[in-house]
Amino acid sequence: MKTILTGDGRTLSITPQTGFFKQNTALAMENKKIFTDAGIIAVDILGSVGAGKTTLAGALVAYLKGQKRLAAIAGDLTTEIDAQRIRAQGAEVLQINTDKGCHLDANMIKNAMDCLNLSNLDIVLIENVGNLICPSGYQLGAHHRMVVISVTEGPYQVVKHPHIFQDVSVVVINKIDLADVMEVDPQKLIADIHTIRPGIPVILTNGRTGQGIAELATALKLDK
Ligand SMILES: Nc1nc2c(ncn2[C@@H]2O[C@H](COP(=O)(O)OP(=O)(O)O)[C@@H](O)[C@H]2O)c(=O)[nH]1
Ligand SMILES: [Mg+2]
Protein backbone atom coordinates (compact mmCIF):
# COMPACT_ATOMS: atom_id res chain seq x y z
CA MET A 1 0.00 0.00 0.00
CA LYS A 2 1.50 3.36 -0.94
CA THR A 3 0.87 6.42 1.21
CA ILE A 4 1.87 9.87 0.01
CA LEU A 5 2.12 13.09 2.04
CA THR A 6 1.97 16.40 0.15
CA GLY A 7 1.63 20.08 0.93
CA ASP A 8 3.16 23.42 0.07
CA GLY A 9 5.32 21.89 -2.65
CA ARG A 10 6.59 18.96 -0.56
CA THR A 11 5.93 15.32 -1.42
CA LEU A 12 6.93 12.45 0.87
CA SER A 13 6.41 8.73 0.63
CA ILE A 14 5.38 7.14 3.95
CA THR A 15 6.76 3.65 4.65
CA PRO A 16 4.20 1.45 6.44
CA GLN A 17 5.10 0.06 9.86
CA THR A 18 5.12 -3.60 10.81
CA GLY A 19 3.58 -5.03 14.06
CA PHE A 20 0.93 -2.51 13.36
CA PHE A 21 -1.76 -2.37 16.04
CA LYS A 22 0.47 -2.27 19.13
CA GLN A 23 2.86 0.17 17.54
CA ASN A 24 0.03 2.40 16.38
CA THR A 25 -1.33 2.91 19.88
CA ALA A 26 2.16 3.54 21.30
CA LEU A 27 2.98 6.00 18.52
CA ALA A 28 -0.37 7.76 18.97
CA MET A 29 0.52 8.36 22.63
CA GLU A 30 3.87 9.82 21.54
CA ASN A 31 2.11 12.06 19.01
CA LYS A 32 -0.27 13.28 21.69
CA LYS A 33 2.62 14.14 24.00
CA ILE A 34 4.37 16.08 21.23
CA PHE A 35 1.15 18.01 20.47
CA THR A 36 0.57 18.67 24.18
CA ASP A 37 4.14 19.78 24.85
CA ALA A 38 3.84 22.22 21.92
CA GLY A 39 0.62 23.63 23.43
CA ILE A 40 -1.44 22.33 20.52
CA ILE A 41 -4.99 20.92 20.61
CA ALA A 42 -5.40 18.28 17.89
CA VAL A 43 -8.81 17.11 16.65
CA ASP A 44 -9.46 13.91 14.67
CA ILE A 45 -12.51 14.49 12.44
CA LEU A 46 -14.37 11.29 11.51
CA GLY A 47 -17.38 10.69 9.30
CA SER A 48 -18.68 9.16 6.08
CA VAL A 49 -17.73 10.38 2.63
CA GLY A 50 -19.74 13.54 2.00
CA ALA A 51 -20.85 14.09 5.62
CA GLY A 52 -19.21 17.53 5.66
CA LYS A 53 -15.81 16.93 7.31
CA THR A 54 -13.89 19.23 4.94
CA THR A 55 -16.61 21.87 5.01
CA LEU A 56 -16.64 21.92 8.82
CA ALA A 57 -12.83 21.94 9.05
CA GLY A 58 -12.82 24.93 6.69
CA ALA A 59 -15.57 26.63 8.68
CA LEU A 60 -13.63 26.14 11.93
CA VAL A 61 -10.53 27.64 10.30
CA ALA A 62 -12.54 30.62 9.03
CA TYR A 63 -14.12 31.13 12.47
CA LEU A 64 -10.94 30.75 14.56
CA LYS A 65 -8.15 32.11 12.36
CA GLY A 66 -8.26 35.63 13.85
CA GLN A 67 -7.55 34.34 17.35
CA LYS A 68 -5.73 31.00 16.84
CA ARG A 69 -2.92 29.63 14.64
CA LEU A 70 -4.32 26.66 12.78
CA ALA A 71 -3.05 23.93 10.47
CA ALA A 72 -4.83 20.91 9.05
CA ILE A 73 -3.93 17.43 7.89
CA ALA A 74 -6.40 16.04 5.36
CA GLY A 75 -6.70 12.32 4.64
CA ASP A 76 -8.08 11.15 1.31
CA LEU A 77 -7.39 8.26 -1.05
CA THR A 78 -5.94 10.02 -4.09
CA THR A 79 -6.77 13.73 -4.43
CA GLU A 80 -5.64 17.04 -2.92
CA ILE A 81 -9.10 18.61 -3.22
CA ASP A 82 -9.77 18.68 0.52
CA ALA A 83 -6.37 20.24 1.32
CA GLN A 84 -7.01 22.97 -1.25
CA ARG A 85 -10.49 23.66 0.15
CA ILE A 86 -9.32 24.00 3.76
CA ARG A 87 -6.19 25.96 2.72
CA ALA A 88 -8.45 28.46 0.95
CA GLN A 89 -9.96 29.30 4.36
CA GLY A 90 -6.56 30.43 5.65
CA ALA A 91 -4.58 27.55 7.18
CA GLU A 92 -1.48 25.56 6.24
CA VAL A 93 -2.73 22.14 5.12
CA LEU A 94 -0.94 18.89 4.38
CA GLN A 95 -2.70 16.23 2.35
CA ILE A 96 -2.11 12.55 3.11
CA ASN A 97 -3.13 10.28 0.24
CA THR A 98 -3.68 6.77 1.59
CA ASP A 99 -4.29 5.15 -1.84
CA LYS A 100 -6.32 2.05 -0.86
CA GLY A 101 -6.06 2.70 2.90
CA CYS A 102 -9.43 3.35 4.58
CA HIS A 103 -8.10 5.28 7.61
CA LEU A 104 -5.20 7.41 8.79
CA ASP A 105 -2.77 6.00 11.35
CA ALA A 106 -0.39 7.42 13.94
CA ASN A 107 2.69 6.90 11.75
CA MET A 108 1.17 9.00 8.97
CA ILE A 109 0.35 11.75 11.47
CA LYS A 110 3.91 11.62 12.87
CA ASN A 111 5.26 12.11 9.33
CA ALA A 112 2.93 15.07 8.84
CA MET A 113 3.84 16.55 12.25
CA ASP A 114 7.50 16.46 11.21
CA CYS A 115 6.57 18.73 8.26
CA LEU A 116 4.73 21.29 10.39
CA ASN A 117 6.31 24.01 12.50
CA LEU A 118 4.52 22.98 15.68
CA SER A 119 5.86 25.88 17.73
CA ASN A 120 3.85 28.22 15.48
CA LEU A 121 0.51 26.45 15.98
CA ASP A 122 -2.34 26.32 18.49
CA ILE A 123 -4.71 23.89 16.73
CA VAL A 124 -4.25 21.01 14.27
CA LEU A 125 -7.41 19.68 12.60
CA ILE A 126 -7.08 16.17 11.14
CA GLU A 127 -9.65 15.08 8.57
CA ASN A 128 -9.69 11.28 8.59
CA VAL A 129 -10.50 9.14 5.54
CA GLY A 130 -14.27 9.07 4.98
CA ASN A 131 -16.03 6.11 6.55
CA LEU A 132 -17.59 5.17 9.88
CA ILE A 133 -15.89 1.79 10.29
CA CYS A 134 -12.11 1.53 9.80
CA PRO A 135 -10.88 4.71 11.55
CA SER A 136 -12.47 3.89 14.92
CA GLY A 137 -9.72 1.45 16.00
CA TYR A 138 -6.77 3.63 15.03
CA GLN A 139 -5.79 6.35 17.47
CA LEU A 140 -3.80 9.20 15.92
CA GLY A 141 -2.76 11.08 19.04
CA ALA A 142 -5.45 13.75 18.84
CA HIS A 143 -6.94 15.20 22.05
CA HIS A 144 -10.47 15.08 20.67
CA ARG A 145 -12.28 12.90 18.23
CA MET A 146 -15.34 14.37 16.61
CA VAL A 147 -17.79 12.33 14.53
CA VAL A 148 -19.77 14.08 11.80
CA ILE A 149 -22.97 12.51 10.57
CA SER A 150 -25.31 14.32 8.22
CA VAL A 151 -29.06 14.06 7.87
CA THR A 152 -28.63 13.12 4.20
CA GLU A 153 -27.19 9.76 5.33
CA GLY A 154 -30.68 8.83 6.55
CA PRO A 155 -32.11 7.90 9.96
CA TYR A 156 -30.07 4.75 10.70
CA GLN A 157 -26.42 5.90 10.59
CA VAL A 158 -26.07 6.11 14.37
CA VAL A 159 -27.70 2.81 15.33
CA LYS A 160 -25.80 0.99 12.58
CA HIS A 161 -22.36 2.34 13.55
CA PRO A 162 -22.18 2.26 17.36
CA HIS A 163 -18.41 1.64 17.58
CA ILE A 164 -17.40 4.94 16.00
CA PHE A 165 -19.08 6.83 18.87
CA GLN A 166 -17.22 5.03 21.66
CA ASP A 167 -14.12 7.16 21.86
CA VAL A 168 -15.27 10.61 20.76
CA SER A 169 -15.70 13.91 22.62
CA VAL A 170 -18.28 15.59 20.37
CA VAL A 171 -20.81 14.46 17.75
CA VAL A 172 -21.95 16.78 14.96
CA ILE A 173 -25.22 16.40 13.07
CA ASN A 174 -24.54 18.33 9.87
CA LYS A 175 -26.71 19.49 6.93
CA ILE A 176 -29.38 20.40 9.43
CA ASP A 177 -30.90 22.63 6.72
CA LEU A 178 -31.88 19.45 4.83
CA ALA A 179 -33.54 17.61 7.75
CA ASP A 180 -37.11 18.33 6.67
CA VAL A 181 -36.63 17.44 3.03
CA MET A 182 -34.81 14.23 4.06
CA GLU A 183 -37.60 13.48 6.57
CA VAL A 184 -34.91 12.78 9.19
CA ASP A 185 -35.64 13.88 12.76
CA PRO A 186 -32.46 15.29 14.38
CA GLN A 187 -33.98 14.72 17.84
CA LYS A 188 -34.22 10.99 17.07
CA LEU A 189 -30.55 10.98 15.99
CA ILE A 190 -29.62 12.76 19.23
CA ALA A 191 -31.57 10.15 21.24
CA ASP A 192 -29.75 7.34 19.36
CA ILE A 193 -26.37 8.98 20.07
CA HIS A 194 -27.22 9.37 23.76
CA THR A 195 -28.27 5.72 23.99
CA ILE A 196 -24.70 4.81 22.96
CA ARG A 197 -22.95 7.69 24.78
CA PRO A 198 -25.16 9.24 27.45
CA GLY A 199 -24.57 12.97 27.87
CA ILE A 200 -22.08 13.44 25.03
CA PRO A 201 -22.32 16.92 23.44
CA VAL A 202 -24.20 16.87 20.11
CA ILE A 203 -23.94 19.99 17.93
CA LEU A 204 -26.32 20.71 15.04
CA THR A 205 -24.59 22.46 12.14
CA ASN A 206 -25.02 23.85 8.67
CA GLY A 207 -21.46 23.77 7.36
CA ARG A 208 -22.34 25.97 4.41
CA THR A 209 -23.70 28.88 6.46
CA GLY A 210 -21.58 28.45 9.60
CA GLN A 211 -24.60 27.74 11.80
CA GLY A 212 -23.42 25.92 14.93
CA ILE A 213 -19.69 26.49 14.30
CA ALA A 214 -19.18 28.77 17.33
CA GLU A 215 -20.89 26.17 19.53
CA LEU A 216 -18.71 23.44 18.00
CA ALA A 217 -15.51 25.41 18.65
CA THR A 218 -16.58 25.84 22.28
CA ALA A 219 -17.50 22.15 22.67
CA LEU A 220 -14.01 21.22 21.43
CA LYS A 221 -12.45 23.91 23.69
CA LEU A 222 -10.76 25.45 20.62
CA ASP A 223 -11.77 29.03 21.44
CA LYS A 224 -10.26 29.16 24.94
N1 LIG B 1 -26.85 21.69 2.34
C2 LIG B 1 -25.70 21.47 2.99
N3 LIG B 1 -24.62 21.02 2.31
C4 LIG B 1 -23.48 20.81 3.00
C5 LIG B 1 -23.36 21.06 4.38
N6 LIG B 1 -22.10 20.74 4.77
C7 LIG B 1 -21.46 20.32 3.67
N8 LIG B 1 -22.29 20.37 2.59
C9 LIG B 1 -21.98 19.96 1.21
O10 LIG B 1 -21.84 18.54 1.19
C11 LIG B 1 -20.85 18.16 0.23
C12 LIG B 1 -19.81 17.26 0.88
O13 LIG B 1 -19.12 18.01 1.88
P14 LIG B 1 -17.61 17.70 2.27
O15 LIG B 1 -17.22 18.71 3.29
O16 LIG B 1 -16.78 17.59 1.05
O17 LIG B 1 -17.75 16.25 2.94
P18 LIG B 1 -16.60 15.23 3.41
O19 LIG B 1 -16.50 14.19 2.35
O20 LIG B 1 -17.11 14.66 4.70
O21 LIG B 1 -15.33 16.00 3.59
C22 LIG B 1 -20.28 19.47 -0.32
O23 LIG B 1 -20.94 19.77 -1.55
C24 LIG B 1 -20.64 20.51 0.74
O25 LIG B 1 -20.81 21.82 0.24
C26 LIG B 1 -24.51 21.53 5.08
O27 LIG B 1 -24.52 21.73 6.30
N28 LIG B 1 -25.65 21.73 4.33
MG1 LIG C 1 -13.42 15.67 2.79
Residue 133 belongs to a domain:
yes
Does ligand 1 come within 6 angstroms of the Cβ of 130?
A: yes
Establish if 22 belongs to a structural domain: no
Q: What is the pLDDT of residue 1?
A: 62
Domain contains 136: yes
pLDDT value for 100:
87
Q: Is the dihedral of CA 60, 51, 173, 164 positive or negative?
A: negative
pLDDT tens, residue by residue, 32-41: 999 999 999 9
Total domains present in the chain: 1
The reply to whether ligand 1 has any atom less than 6 angstroms from the CB of 50 is yes
Q: How many CB atoms lie within 10 A of CB 163?
A: 11
CA 221 to chain centre: 15
Q: Helix (H, G, I), strand (E, B), or coil: what is residue 105?
A: coil
Average pLDDT over residues 186-214: 98
Specify the pTM: 0.94
207 lines ligand 1 (CB under 6 A): yes
pLDDT above 90 for 103? yes
Instruction: Give the pLDDT score at 13.
Output: 86
Distance 118 CA to ligand 1 centre (A): 29
CATH of the domain at 161: 3.40.50.300
Which residue from 46, 55, 126, 152 has its CB within 8 A of the most atoms of ligand 1, so it is best to mutate? 55
**Residue 88 belongs to what domain range?**
3-14+40-219
Asked if the structure places residue 25 within a domain, the reply is: no
Give the model confidence (pLDDT) of 53-92 as tens digits: 999 999 999 999 999 999 999 998 988 999 999 999 999 9
The answer as to whether 155 is a domain residue is yes
For ligand 1, what atom is nearest to the CA of residue 48?
A: 20
pLDDT tens column, 133-184: 999 889 999 999 999 999 999 999 999 999 999 999 999 999 999 999 999 9
**From residue 93, how far is each of 8, 36, 88 by CA, in Å?**
8, 20, 9
State the chain's maximal CA–CA distance in angstroms. 48
Q: Cα dist. 36→143, 156, 199, 219 in Å? A: 9, 36, 26, 18
Question: Which residues pair with residue 202 across a beta bridge?
Answer: 171
